[in-house]
Chain A
Amino acid sequence: AQSVTQLDSQVPVFEEAPVELRCNYSSSVSVYLFWYVQYPNQGLQLLLKYLSGSTLVESINGFEAEFNKSQTSFHLRKPSVHISDTAEYFCAVSEKGGSEKLVFGKGTKLTVNP
């Protein structure tokens, strides 16, 4: 079984500041890793994912995450945030070769203030 821990339930930052949203997972098998974003009053959208290959993955809107196997982490970072990045961010894992179901963390609410 897998589990995902997002230690920070809320992260307030000022516009143009850097941000890191932390995600740690636990699994006895190899996993795929995902970050989903939920903007206010919208559905869940895939932000980025790690399946294999390069451990650093990027999204089209400037976010990046790095898979660290030894630390079982997949932290999400952005060097300079915008007000439009205000949203809830969910880290998730699924078992490689398994049933594909996603196990989610409890989410981190990012609030970007002017």
Chain B
Amino acid sequence: GAGVSQSPSNKVTEKGKDVELRCDPISGHTALYWYRQRLGQGLEFLIYFQGNSAPDKSGLPSDRFSAERTGESVSTLTIQRTQQEDSAVYLCASSYVGTGEETQYFGPGTRLLVL
């Protein structure tokens, strides 16, 4: 079946502009995660959605970052007033929580460059 998809694959923006990144999880997956990978760094957790529970936003670096998810489908990550330090690859992952599988499947990422 189809994997996790993300769009756009690349985004170049000017400092101060808002950007919106999209993630389509694997159909049926109840959990969705956003991570950020800055150059030379490991992945940093940003936010986690699980079903109808309140999202875990503990990884969002500032109030310029927000994310939404509609039911168990698409999610969007919005970065307002982008800064150069926001340049990174933003990765989305999904999983089916509850089976004991505990495996997150990652999308190809959106490479964001803030000029």
Q: In whole Å, how far is B105's beta carbon from the nearest beta carbon of chain A?
A: 8
B28 contacts A by Cβ under 8 Å = no
Q: Which B-chain residue is minimally distant from A106 (CB atoms)?
A: B42
Whether A25 sits at the interface, judged by CB under 8 Å, is no
Interface residue total, chain B, C-beta cutoff 8 A: 26
User: Which A residue sits closest to B104, measured CB to CB?
Assistant: A102
Check B106 against A106 for contact (C-beta < 8 Å): no
A: number of interface residues (CB 8 Å): 23
Q: How far is the CA of A101 from the CA of B36 in the complex (A)?
A: 13
CB within 8 Å of B: which A25-76 residues: 32, 36, 42-46, 49, 51
Q: What residues of A have a CB within 8 angstroms of the CB of B109 in the complex?
A: 43
Q: Are A104 and B106 in contact (CB under 8 A)?
A: no
- Contact in complex: A104, B56 (CB < 8 Å): no
Q: C-beta contact mask, A78-114 vs B, less than 8 Å → 1, else 0?
A: 0000000000001010100001111111110000000
Give the interface centre of B43, B44, B48, B108 by most chain A CB atoms within 10 Å: B43
- Contact A101/B108 with A49-B102, A49-B103, A90-B42 known, Cβ cut-off 8 Å: no
Within 8 A of A (CB), among B32-79: 33, 35, 40-45, 48, 50, 56, 59
A-B contact pairs, 11 of them (CB 8 A): A32-B102, A43-B108, A46-B103, A90-B42, A90-B43, A92-B43, A100-B31, A100-B95, A102-B104, A103-B45, A106-B41
Report which B residues bind A (CB closer than 8 A): 31, 33, 35, 40-45, 48, 50, 56, 59, 91, 93, 95, 97, 100, 102-109
Interface set of A (CB-CB < 8 Å, partner B) = 4, 6, 32, 36, 42-46, 49, 51, 90, 92, 94, 99-107
